[in-house]
Structure 1
Amino acid sequence: MVKPFERRELAQQSVAIHGISIRFACRAFSVSECCYRYQPKLRDENTEISDWLIKLTEGENDWGFGLCFDYLRNVKGKPWNHKRVYRIYCELALNLRIWTRRRLKRNAPESLKEP
């Protein structure tokens, strides 16, 4: 399944390369014209957030999002929203997989085994 932003990119490429109309490209790729023309407003704070996250995770390999966000909020006093910080954290592919410890299977003691 193709994601919406990928469909938008395909529509933009078809308009640029093949010279078809925007309306036709949007209908062909099932993208609204508003989505086709949308330009995100990137702020300078987003680069500052990403710089902080990269700096924190390089020094501490086992820091997940929670520790990073708590450090930025409580220690550094940054006012950023957790949803915004998490979005940037995921875009940087810093999300850690938390592995649970596997327990060894132990054999039952001889006295508990059936004869």
Structure 2
Amino acid sequence: MDNGTEFTSRALDDWAYRRGIKLDYTRPGKPTDNGLIESFNGRLRDEFLNVHEFIPLHDLREKLQAWQDDYNHHRPHGSLGHLTPCEYVQKWSVQPKEAAPLQF
């Protein structure tokens, strides 16, 4: 995890502890420790956040859902052997399972 204040709060620590989740932080000042996430965040910022205006909030949700659909279902990723993330997961999944929703 990133070391930003939103990820190092006592509330997040308590939430994770109650659910048996161990938080694993990257080293401060070492973005290469988390290169895939940093790359994704850059794409999200450059291709989505810096391109659109979001008024009202439901507009943000609709546009983000469309961007996520394109990113995960239609856009091949070089790091995944030029498969989409969904194709990659299907290729390597033994048995697809439905993820349990997070409870806050």
The answer to whether TM tops 0.5 is no
TM-score scaled by length of structure 1: 0.28
TM-score scaled by length of structure 2: 0.30
